[in-house]
Amino acid sequence: MSPRSRNRRLVLASRPSRLCGPENFQLVEEDIPQPRSGEILLQTQWLSIEPYMALAMKGSMKTTTQPGADRLLKLCDRYIAGVELGAVMCGPAIGRVVKSLHPEFAEGDLVAAYSGWQEYAVDDCQTSRKICADAIPAPAWLGVLGIPGLTAYVGMRRIGCPQPGETVVISAAMGPVGSLAGQLAKIAGARIVGIASGDDKCHGLVESLGFDTAVNRLHPDFARQLAKACPNGIDVYFENVGGAVWWAAFALLNTFARVPVSGLASQYTQTHRPTSPDRTAELMEKLQLRRLTIRGYAVFDHADLESTFLREVPDWIRDGRIHYREHIVEGLEAAPLALATVLSGRNVGKMLVRVA
Ligand SMILES: NC(=O)c1ccc[n+]([C@@H]2O[C@H](COP(=O)([O-])OP(=O)(O)OC[C@H]3O[C@@H](n4cnc5c(N)ncnc54)[C@H](OP(=O)(O)O)[C@@H]3O)[C@@H](O)[C@H]2O)c1
């Protein structure tokens, strides 16, 4: 595709009231920016669409980076910095270098950068890295080999630690975090049960991703169906969504169960906390009596696992032990709707926008 002479960007036009959608964004055209010394100009190829973006649209949170922070901690600050009204929508992307004033990046390199919803972006290279798309196609570096994949890896390796024969349950199991989390548990010898919305996704989990069984969270009898799928209880529950799914899984946790809390996607679009019965006492009692480990985590604190992750997972993809699904939509303008799709659970696999 020939380069454009102008840059198109999607900027945040309003804060979302509940569901985030196209009405919250405005497409603007500007001159293509020019890099300064130490920067590169990227032409965006792919955008990653992720649930946390609903939080980013609500505004900024306090950033925490200390001097000397590593690349992932700096990236963490960009994730939680949120988006100002009128600013380009944030998010991870893959771009091709079209101009470089940085010694480590050359024209033509493919780069994973936090460069947002725009066709061209100047990047300071502080949180970016070159990727190699020879053996595994470029968009995988935003999903199974990117931050979502590392999130699954950290949660399973450092907190879930599934053992042979254990029952591992994963919510949002068809997404990039959940699908890898499940397959890692399978490689560790566990029995894996996926939770997803709709019978088609559940079927896909079993047929194409190797889950032992899957339960449709939209089924009116979901909690009972989950109990049926886990006759020996749950040893590891990988939490991606929270809400009603959490309480159904909580009821089935075995003694010494581990719960990596990766995210709470069902809560990101809530404007206020629902008034429901306070179950704190029940939770604390079971936490103590059953010796549960429930641990929230952010992938950015675990840079030490990144090199093992990048050694093991690409090999498993190449030898067919790990599979991944992608949900691709076309063109920058499709990004807002793609986000709404993720937040309503209508994505089937890693949501990506092909831009160039
Ligand atoms: N801790 C970290 O450092 C870190 C880093 C990256 C991502 N994350 C978290 O990991 C989780 C998964 O991310 P992902 O990129 O793999 O997302 P994803 O699975 O592609 O998309 C989110 C999924 O959440 C489910 N969902 C949405 N609304 C829901 C609701 N109201 N109730 C129950 N489920 C709902 C949907 O799946 P179904 O409809 O099929 O259930 C949806 O597809 C998210 O919570 C994300 O924030 C954490």
SS3 for 52-114, per residue?
CHHHHCCCCCCCCCCCCCCHHHHHHHHHHCCCCCCCECCCCEEEEEEEECCCCCCCCCEEEEC
Ligand 1 centroid vs 267 CA: distance in angstroms?
A: 10
Q: What pTM did the predictor assign? A: 0.96
The C-alpha atoms of residue 21 and residue 264 are separated, in whole angstroms, by 19
> Ligand 1 pocket by C-beta < 6 Å: which residues?
50-52, 147-148, 151, 172, 174-178, 196-197, 201, 217, 240-241, 243, 245, 262-266, 297-299, 342, 345, 347, 351
Ligand 1 centroid vs 172 CA: distance in angstroms?
A: 5
The C-alpha atoms of residue 15 and residue 269 are separated, in whole angstroms, by 11
CB-side exposure of 285: number of CA atoms within 13 Å? 5
User: 47, 217, 262, 268: which to mutate for ligand 1, most atoms within 8 A of CB?
Assistant: 262
Cross-strand partners of 296? 261
Q: Tell me whether residue 294 is exposed, middle or buried, using C-beta atoms within 10 angstroms of its C-beta: 0 to 12, 13 to 18, 19 or more.
A: middle
The C-alpha atoms of residue 280 and residue 342 are separated, in whole angstroms, by 30
Contact call for residues 225 and 219 (beta carbons, < 8 A): yes
List the chain pLDDT tens, one digit each, 356 residues: 445 679 999 999 999 987 788 999 999 999 999 999 999 999 999 999 999 999 999 987 766 667 778 999 999 999 989 999 999 999 999 999 999 999 999 999 999 999 999 999 999 999 999 999 888 999 999 999 999 999 999 999 999 999 999 999 999 999 999 999 999 999 999 999 999 999 999 999 999 999 999 999 999 999 999 999 999 999 999 999 999 999 999 999 999 999 999 999 999 988 777 777 899 999 999 999 999 999 999 999 999 999 999 999 999 999 999 999 999 999 999 999 999 999 999 999 999 999 98
**The pLDDT value given to residue 4:** 64
The C-alpha atoms of residue 237 and residue 156 are separated, in whole angstroms, by 10
Contact call for residues 94 and 121 (beta carbons, < 8 A): no
**The pLDDT value given to residue 2:** 47
